[in-house]
A and B are shown apart, each in its own frame.
Chain A
Amino acid sequence: MCHTFPALTSDRSSRICSLLYKHGSSMASNSSGSDSSDRQRIAQQRLSVIAGHLQRPVEGNSGILAAECKAQGDKLDVSSERRTVPRRRQEIMKWNGWGYSDSKFLYNKKGQAEFTGKRYRLSGMIIPGLREWMESTFGANLQHKTPAAPILNSSAVQPPTLNEAFLKELKSTGIPFSHDAEDRVFRSHGHCLHEIFALREGKIGRVPDLVVWPNCHNDVVKIVELACKHNVCLMPYGGGTSVSSALECPPEETRSIVSLDTSQMNRILWIDEKNLTAHVEAGIVGQDLERLLNESGYCTGHEPDSMEFSSLGGWVATRASGMKKNIYGNIEDLVVHIKMVTPQGVIEKSCQGPRMSTGPDVHHFIMGSEGTLGVVTEVTMKIRPMPEYQKYGSVVFPNFEMGVACLREVARQRCAPASIRLMDNEQFKFGHALKPQVSSIFTSFLDGLKKFYITKFKGFDPNRLCVATLLFEGDREKVLQHEKQVYDIAAKFGGLAAGEDNGQRGYMLTFVIAYLRDLGMDYYVIGESFETSVPWDRVLDICRNVKARIVRECKDKGVQFPPLSTCRVTQTYDAGACVYFYFAFNYRGLSDPVHVYEQVEHAAREEILANGGSLSHHHGVGKLRKEWMRETISSVGMGMLKSVKDYVDPNNIFGNRNLL
């Protein structure tokens, strides 16, 4: 976090910092009282982190091996102590909601929405339009609250089923572990609606029996060996941001389940400036990876929406996609080398050639394996020099059809900026509702003028218009040139440039949306997003049909208020696009809202498949979408995957039962 490290702030501070978080430089130059207390807190935090490293593991006392790991790394590690994710996640993160404990939306005493904390740009701000938007979109009401269970009741957690022999040998390795109820609950879920909903109600199902925190590749090798020896079920855990039920413990699993938390394997082991690669431990989370590379003047450019918390290993295991893939590529384009520990041993390639013709690429067994084959421990990734210049932008189109046509043309000309996203009308309004209170009359006057220009002068229908958000990156001159090219294309489709602000806010939305869901859940509103990829000629149809299906299903299932059913096109490819849907509704009057939600989502997925969309573009399959795997990849395809699993992990040690 930028504000945690005032020393770091420079002109080249990473994009995510500038986008998400309060700008560091203002913090550094500001010496108000609150800031100094901040510094104090930061200093304390750093101390405690360092203390944590010096401390012996809580249980077991042969820390030598672990220390060995660390010692080996410390030599190369660029900045080992500045890590976002502590072993005890509960210190900074919510147990039953998204993200940091100190950051959340709430309605203050005046009934105005505000975002708490200090981490984000939106932090501490009033969002005047949100309440009305929520009330009119969902029929929600501030009087009707559905508060979450305030604290985790440890007695609700089943006592762990421990494999004593495994535990005994694990202790002797010195690798830290815990069977504390909180630790286990934290690793028992991702962020699917049903998972969070259950936690809010204080309902806790099967959770891992033990959590282990390996510090390095060798630790993982040992853990996997022990697990095989004692027939223990291992479930790798990275950032915990899964939205595919991938982290759910299979209820039918009778063995002891051990959650292998990679979060402490978070070092950059080396940077190779000649080849522009970096060798990184797979537990590092996105924001740390970018920040640390930025310090050396590099970046990976891989920025999935979850990058604050999701881990490198998780990206590999789910075939992640970042919003700037147009420049940097998706994860499969970014990795050069992968090391994975499996029950059969370690799999890795012998060299780092940029491309090989050596039979089917074994990396592709690993990428997307969703923790069913082993644990990814180290990855060599491409890196790039940090871009010299970044610029946001936005374009308003008279309707969604024109917007899609424009994106298609941009893709045809292969001139997509780092990111280009098209939001539909509902989402445009949603984004609008998140505008923070403007401080000056002048800004609000300008806003009014803009609105007048677009709707009255240009004749755009406010209920049909939609907006594309853009992010350009590169050297200044090229960016400006590129910008002009894209705006020229947009103009052909009736698009009007609508300023940098709108663009930037559009991207912000993706980072705060998960926080917003928690707010909705406080007021009877539940929802989720899901995605697909689809050929260009079906983009419009799939958007229309899936949205309509959601609305119809809600109606049929007795939902009392029309749902929010909205989409955006988030990625463009040569042959198609990635489409993201948001779906939320007010569940007052429903006896089993989660079931209704799941039925509707199921129907929506059926609709996606019927319209030529894929099962997933980047969220993965997990257990949530397993039922469609066979029709997606054919029986032979299933057999191929199955035989790999049978060879690599015949005893189903990696027994999270995802994918197959």
Chain B
Amino acid sequence: MLWSYRHSGTRKSWFNINTRELSEVVVIGSTASLKDEEEFTDILEERRRTTDLGYALRTFNPQPYKGAPYSSTSDLKKAVLESQYLRYIIALETGSSVEKVRQEARGILEEMSHNLQLGFIRLMAYTVNKVFKRLFRSIYVNMEGLNMLQQAIQESPVILMPNHRSYVDFLIVSFILFTYDIPIPVIAAGIPLASMKVVGEILRRSGAFFIRRAIGSDKLYWAVLSEYVRTIVRTGCAPLEFYVEGFRSRTLKSVVPKLGMMDMVLEPYFKGEVFDITLVPISISYDRVVEESLLALELLGVPKPKESTTGLFKASRVLQEDYGCMHVNFGRPLSVRQLCEGKINRSEYNLIPRDLPQRPSTEIQDCVNWVAHLIVRTQEEGSLISPWSLMACLLLQAPITTLTEEGLQWHGLTEKTLWLRKLVLDFRGRLNWPAHTPDSDVMSSTVALHHSIVHHKAGRVCLVQDGDPASQDPLSPEEGVMRTAAAVLMLVSYRNQALHVFVRPGILATAIHITKSTQKDELFSFFCFLRDVFANEFIFIPGRASQDFDEACSLLQKCGAVHMSEQEVTVLETGLEVLSFLQKLLQPFLDSYQLIFRYLCENGAHVFTEKQFLPAVQNLATKLILSGDLHTFEVLSSDTQKNVLSALRRLEAVTKLRVNNNILSIADPYFFGKYIAIDVLLMTEIMNKRAL
């Protein structure tokens, strides 16, 4: 009350933000901030009651960032082009005249630049509103988060950081912000969207700006892009929205964050050009993802259709389907200043003109990496787990033949799902379980919603496989594997939505299972080893191994699976069910990694192209599946394969070489032989131990 006693409007607004609240959030990692009774409001409910046109033409009068001078799109472009940074880079480009390079820079900027216009926001809102009403039963938004966002936007430049699970969510944030009178963000999008006829332009005018996919070493492009992004942040002319995961996750699992944009976004803070930056993690969760079947096919190597306007219209048949509900959870605003406190020393920028490019120190790089991971973890913690995800976890633990042939007993599945529900709550996951509805109804309506994946008949649940099962065309065994894989991978992606709750205790369960040890030290070192190996698969905040371990321990203890003492972790009789569930949950990952490791060890050739590698692994896996030696289909997923390679590169067991122009050549025989040996030995150890 006292703090807002001020004449000057600029000062007054500062004191509305509650910094203490912000600082609490910095300590996350344990979903501690979760409130069970968080209020979600269905924003479609009101939309269904009013006219679309009236909605689109509503008065829109948001409160902008306090320091933001009015800047139009052309002002923004001008500021970028005339920036000292860009002039410096342009002067460095040799080979052609300065004027030519400047022209080129202008061209890049034109291609990139957003052209946010209120009129198009209205058009977008009108269209999106119509589409969403068709697709979804409800769109739930947490109002508290929106209120915090509204406050935050007035205090410092805001970065909106949603996860990206579907094309549908591209405009959802803008749509919500328009509805609630909050400044519309500019959104970083992939360039393919821009090339869509008409739609590209509409997106551009709705605030999208477009970034090329493979920028590589194009210095000028980097310069234009980074200056563009920094100028937006620096001036705070609009909130900036981007996907820290870099792209849409095909597996519905969080993707290890990309740091390029994150770097650019944080730099104005590091260089002192803004007092603070607010990061708002946004978790978008779907009951059912619109492009579920496309995703699975894509992962198996069927190329994704190019983004095109006609494609979009063709896809309009998806409008006939029911996709259940969508949850948009606006996380607590995080102050970059508070996040970085004590982690970095900003004075490293003191000795070079700020407008000139400067390679950040490892300290800064680590901090950016840490922040990016933190955001993704926060997104995970903010996302809601649907009953269907729980069922997917369980279905995948059944033998594949049961799923494809006789089916799983409905009764058993129900019982087990309810058991899992309790475990999720114990693990402080956010569950989206409809209240005031009998559990059996929840279960059956869930299965009904996902009729494209499973069907429930005569007390049993079976996997739906694509194509007509009664078809006379006999499939080859390999084709059969792929067909099943497509269905399984769909299931896998829904399981993945729940994975983040189980990963840490799951790794501990795996460590207990493999090492058979009760010594905390030993378990911890194995826990760290697994955490390290799977760091491309799951999101672990760097440098928090011991916190992760403690979290895993406390969760397992909480659900009565283990008993902890100072030195020891003892498995309790009552905990076997939990431990075995967790261990089985992660088994596919272990199996996949082992298979690929084995392939790399046993394969004589140490240099190969990525193009050879992926099909080779797929072939090997298919063979093993057919022979019954491999029980997971996940290794068939290109995502898994890529993750393994990234992990091995990170562990310096494999190097990536660029030979000629675009042939990617991987692995260095000497290197591989020398370094991976250690890891493989450990992996072999795992296999051996399991055999015991």
Measuring CB to CB, which residues of chain A are less than 8 angstroms from any residue of chain B?
136, 139, 425, 463-464, 537-538, 541-542, 544-545, 548-549, 551-552, 555-556, 560-562, 609-612, 631
Contact (Cβ within 8 A) B2 A555: no
Q: Which residue of B lies closest to A542 (CB)?
A: B272
Most buried by B among A136, A544, A562, A631: A562
B337 vs chain A, min Cβ distance (A): 8
Q: Among B4-12, B309-317, B521-529, B592-600, which stretch is in contact with chain A?
A: B4-12
Complex formed: what's the CA distance from A552 to B350 in Å? 23
B273 interface hit (Cβ, 8 Å): yes
Complex contacts, A609 vs chain B, CB 8 Å: 347
Also in contact, A549 and B275, with CB within 8 A (given A562-B15, A610-B346, A610-B347): yes
Also in contact, A139 and B5, with CB within 8 A (given A537-B353, A555-B15, A612-B349): yes
B72 interface hit (Cβ, 8 Å): no
Contact (Cβ within 8 A) A555 B345: no
Complex formed: what's the CA distance from A442 to B672 in Å? 91
A593 vs chain B, min Cβ distance (A): 16
Complex formed: what's the CA distance from A609 to B351 in Å? 12
- For the complex of A and B, the 8 pairs showing the least CB-CB separation, nearest first, are A610-B346, A611-B272, A548-B275, A612-B350, A463-B8, A541-B272, A545-B275, A560-B2
Complex formed: what's the CA distance from A610 to B364 in Å? 14
Q: Which residue of B lies closest to A138 (CB)?
A: B5
Complex contacts, B136 vs chain A, CB 8 Å: none
Contact (Cβ within 8 A) A611 B2: no
Complex formed: what's the CA distance from A139 to B5 in Å? 8
Contact (Cβ within 8 A) B2 A561: yes
Complex contacts, A545 vs chain B, CB 8 Å: 272, 275
Contact with A along B326-359 (1 / 0, CB 8 A): 0000000000000000000111011001110000
Measuring CB to CB, which residues of chain B are less than 8 angstroms from any residue of chain A?
2-3, 5-11, 14-15, 19-20, 67, 272-273, 275-276, 345-347, 349-350, 353-355
Ordered by A's residue number, 25 sampled pairs between the chains whose C-beta atoms are within 8 Å are A136-B7, A139-B5, A463-B9, A464-B10, A537-B353, A537-B354, A538-B272, A541-B272, A542-B272, A544-B67, A545-B275, A548-B276, A552-B19, A555-B3, A555-B15, A556-B19, A561-B3, A562-B3, A562-B5, A562-B14, A562-B15, A610-B345, A612-B272, A612-B347, A631-B347
Majority DSSP secondary structure for residues of B touching A: loop
Most buried by B among A136, A538, A631: A538
Q: Which residue of B lies closest to A560 (CB)?
A: B2
Complex contacts, B272 vs chain A, CB 8 Å: 538, 541-542, 545, 610-612
A461 vs chain B, min Cβ distance (A): 10
Complex formed: what's the CA distance from A542 to B271 in Å? 11
Contact (Cβ within 8 A) B354 A538: yes
Complex formed: what's the CA distance from A548 to B276 in Å? 9
Complex formed: what's the CA distance from A36 to B154 in Å? 62
Also in contact, A541 and B15, with CB within 8 A (given A463-B9, A562-B3, A610-B345): no
Complex contacts, B346 vs chain A, CB 8 Å: 610-611
Q: Could you say which of B11, B345, B350, B353 contacts A562, with CB atoms under 8 Å apart?
A: B11
Contact (Cβ within 8 A) B2 A139: yes
A459 vs chain B, min Cβ distance (A): 14
Complex contacts, B355 vs chain A, CB 8 Å: 537
A59 vs chain B, min Cβ distance (A): 52
Complex formed: what's the CA distance from A463 to B11 in Å? 10
Complex formed: what's the CA distance from A285 to B347 in Å? 38
Complex formed: what's the CA distance from A609 to B67 in Å? 23
A186 vs chain B, min Cβ distance (A): 38
Contact (Cβ within 8 A) A425 B8: yes
Complex contacts, A139 vs chain B, CB 8 Å: 2, 5
B305 vs chain A, min Cβ distance (A): 47
Q: Which residue of B lies closest to A612 (CB)?
A: B350
Contact (Cβ within 8 A) B11 A541: no
Complex formed: what's the CA distance from A188 to B555 in Å? 60
Complex formed: what's the CA distance from A539 to B58 in Å? 42
B354 vs chain A, min Cβ distance (A): 6
Q: Which residue of A lies closest to B9 (CB)?
A: A463
Complex contacts, B350 vs chain A, CB 8 Å: 612
Complex formed: what's the CA distance from A272 to B346 in Å? 50
B367 vs chain A, min Cβ distance (A): 14
